[in-house]
Chains A and B, each alone.
Chain A
Amino acid sequence: MPIDGLATQLRKGVIEYCVLAMLKEAPLYGGEVIEILRTKGQILVSEGTIYPLLSRMRSEGFVETEWRDTPAGAPRRYYRLSRSGQRAVAEFRDEWFRFRDSVDEIFRDGGGQR
């Protein structure tokens, strides 16, 4: 498998939970979500894909949205974590730590060869 495809696959599975986790602190608009992800390095490649992602999470009930006025310019759609979104983040967090620890352990032990 080309390493490129590998990174894409890894990203796909986790990015929506990263976004949900970011919304735990405070409601954000799309541009802010992208801005934060931009500072986190390798997670986001095509910034525009955040919008269909946010839209899907809204349809799935993980986030709720509201329009807020901005001092200059058009109102912005803010995304806020819903209750089921909070549950999803908590579940992912547990699962992720277990998963990460297992992978780390295998790599520490030299590819599983003790």
Chain B
Amino acid sequence: MTAVRASQLIDAYLRRLEKELADLPTAKRHEIVDEIRSHIAGERSAMVDETDANLMNLLDRLGDPAEIAAEARSGAERRRPAPGFRRFGTLEVLALALMLLAWPVGVILLWASRAWTTREKVLGSVLPPGGYPGAFLVMSTFHWFVSMADSGPKWGQITVGAVLFTVSLLLLTAPIGMCVYLATRMRVPSQQQGDVRGSSRW
């Protein structure tokens, strides 16, 4: 067989493939076409006898370009609904903000979202309970400890002061700390991103 005929067959095949893949992103299309082109080159160089029939068998084995394109597209379709990572949804932003400021509402939203695992939701609900309103509620009882310690010895007053200071520090940092933790752990599926209705589907 003549080289002209061989390259015509292969060119026609690759042109059809290009056409079938036209709706794919350029990089993807080039990747597939280039790989198949070099596959054909490799097979040809291994052919003992490059006849028309051998070459046509090679292209037959590769399969109809439409079939290759269908495989490429089935992948593209499957990838789209796959989860995106760590993107913000309206529900999740609201949940985190309200966890700090209006704790019960925040917790309800936390559990309504699908962005966190059950373990993370439990952690978020109990550590610390109440968000900042809860923290201030606990801190409002501190004067009671202080007045109790006032009647005791000097070292007692210092100990109580130090303990209360540490607890206050924890109470003030825990809500924001948990909020940051949850923000880094959340996984909002990209399709439901910003879609509150979608988030209640679980």
Contacts and interface: CB of A to CB of B under 8 A. Distances in A.
Interface residues of A, number: 21
Which has the most chain B C-beta neighbours within 10 Å: A34, A49, A72, A77? A49
A102 interface: no
Contact of B35 (A51, A59, A60): A51
A60 B75 CA distance: 10
Contact of A56 (B41, B63, B79): B79
Q: Which bracket fits the contact residues of B?
A: 20 to 34
A45 interface: yes
A46 B63 contact: yes
A105 B32 CA distance: 41
B45 interface: yes
Interface stretch (B47-55, B65-73, B98-106, B126-134): B65-73
A74 interface: yes
Contacts of A77: 35
A52 B32 contact: yes
B61 interface: yes
A45 B64 CA distance: 11
